[in-house]
Structure 1
Amino acid sequence: MLAGWILRRQFHIASGLWSTQPSSVLATLRKKTGYTFANCKKALEVNNNDVVKAEAWLKEQAQSMGWTKATKLQGRQTTQGLIGVLSKNNIAAMVELNCETDFVARNEHFQTMVDTVANACLQKASEQNVAGNLVQLHLDADDLKSLKLSDGKTLADHLALMIGTVGENASLRRALIYKSNDTLHLSSYAHPSGVAKNETQLGKFGGLVALTKTPTPEATEDLGKKLCQHIVGMHPNKLGTENDEPAKDVDDEKCLIYQEYLLDDSLLVGEVLKENGVEIVEFKRFECGEEPANSQALDSVETCQ
Structure 2
Amino acid sequence: MVEITAGLVKQLRDSTGVGMMDCKKALAETNGDMEAAVDWLRTRGLAKAAKKADRVAAEGLVGVVTTGTSAAVVEVNSETDFVARNEQFQSIVSNVAKLALDAEGDVVKLGEMPFPGTGHSVSAEITEAVAKIGENMGLRRTAHVSVGNGVVESYVHNAVKTGLGKIGILVALESTGDKAVLSTLGKQLAMHIAATNPLSIDPEDLDQTVVARERAIILEQVKESGKSAEIAEKMVDGRMRKYFEEVTLLAQTFVIDGETKVRDAIKNAEKDAGAPIKLTRFVRFALGEGIEKVETDFAAEVAATAGVK
Q: TM-score, normalized by length of structure 1?
A: 0.63
| 1:52 alignment partner in structure 2 | none
Bigger fraction of residues in strand: 1
1:272: Cα distance to partner?
0.3
Asked whether the equivalents of residues 261 and 269 of structure 1 are also in contact (C-alpha less than 8 Å), the reply is yes
| 1:113 alignment partner in structure 2 | 92
Question: Mapping of 1:275-294 within 5 angstroms?
Answer: 275-277=268-270, 278-291=277-290
| 2:58 alignment partner in structure 1 | 79
**Percent identity at matched positions?**
33
1:150: Cα distance to partner?
4.3
Q: Which amino acid aligns with 2:258?
A: D
| 1:158 alignment partner in structure 2 | 125
In the alignment, structure 1 segments of 5+ residues that lack a partner are 1-60, 126-136, 293-305
Quick one: distance in 2 between partners of 1:243 and 1:203? 28
In the alignment, structure 2 segments of 5+ residues that lack a partner are 1-39, 207-236, 271-276, 292-309
2:175 equivalent to 1:213: yes
2:167 equivalent to 1:170: no
| 1:24 alignment partner in structure 2 | none
Q: TM-score, normalized by length of structure 2?
A: 0.62
SS in 2 for 1:103: helix
Asked whether the equivalents of residues 41 and 47 of structure 2 are also in contact (C-alpha less than 8 Å), the reply is no
Q: Which amino acid aligns with 1:192?
A: N
| 2:226 alignment partner in structure 1 | none
Bigger fraction of residues in helix: 2
C-alpha deviations, 1:3-30, integer Å up to 9, x for none? Answer: xxxxxxxxxxxxxxxxxxxxxxxxxxxx
| 1:100 alignment partner in structure 2 | 79
1:63: Cα distance to partner?
11
Quick one: distance in 2 between partners of 1:114 and 1:270? 34
Asked whether the equivalents of residues 187 and 221 of structure 1 are also in contact (C-alpha less than 8 Å), the reply is yes
2:151 equivalent to 1:185: yes
Asked whether the equivalents of residues 63 and 160 of structure 1 are also in contact (C-alpha less than 8 Å), the reply is no
1:138: Cα distance to partner?
3.0
| 2:194 alignment partner in structure 1 | 232
Question: Mapping of 1:1-305 within 5 angstroms?
Answer: 65-122=44-101, 124-125=102-103, 137-140=104-107, 142-151=108-117, 152-181=119-148, 183-193=149-159, 195-196=160-161, 200-213=162-175, 215-240=177-202, 249=242, 253-277=246-270, 278-291=277-290
SS in 1 for 2:259: strand
Question: What CA RMSD, in Å, does the superposition of the two structures yield over aligned residues?
Answer: 2.9
Q: Which amino acid aligns with 2:197?
A: H
The aligned length equals: 214
1:89: Cα distance to partner?
3.0
1:206: Cα distance to partner?
1.1
1 or 2 for the larger relative contact order (CA 8 Å, sep ≥6)?
Answer: 1
